[in-house]
């Protein structure tokens, strides 16, 4: 359980850092394209019924300057297609 919390905290820290950088860079009128990727390891559904990456993406979508996409390992090309990566700023 401790390693799960630690892993989740790392993801939140990465997302928060990306959001902070994106907010600073968002002084221009353009939206910043953020790709949140989640390997969706089996986590207790009681804790994260919709996986941690989706929670992070939903939170980041509250910022009107961010265009957020959520991807995961179960998607085509593990969610990291050339198109998805080229469209992402962060």
* Residues 20-44: tens digit of each pLDDT: 666 665 556 689 999 999 988 877 6
Alpha helices for the chain (secondary structure H): 2-25, 52-60, 82-87
| Least confident stretch, 27-31, 37-41, 68-72, 73-77 | 27-31
Split into its structural domains, the chain has a count of: 1
Query: Which pLDDT score, from 0 to 100, does residue 26 have?
Result: 52
Residue 39's pLDDT is 87
Q: What is the pTM of this model?
A: 0.66
52-60 and 2-25 helices, crossing angle to 10°: 20
Domain enclosing residue 37, as ranges: 2-87
């Amino acid at each position: 359980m401790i390693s799960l919390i630690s892993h989740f905290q790392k993801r939140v820290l990465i997302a928060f850092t990306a959001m902070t950088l994106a907010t600073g860079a968002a002084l221009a009128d353009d939206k910043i394209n953020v790709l949140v990727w989640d390997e969706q390891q089996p986590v207790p559904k009681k804790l994260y019924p919709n996986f941690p990456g989706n929670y992070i993406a939903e939170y980041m979508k509250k910022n009107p300057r961010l265009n957020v996409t959520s991807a995961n390992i179960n998607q085509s090309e593990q969610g990291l297609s050339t198109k998805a990566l080229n469209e992402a700023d962060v």
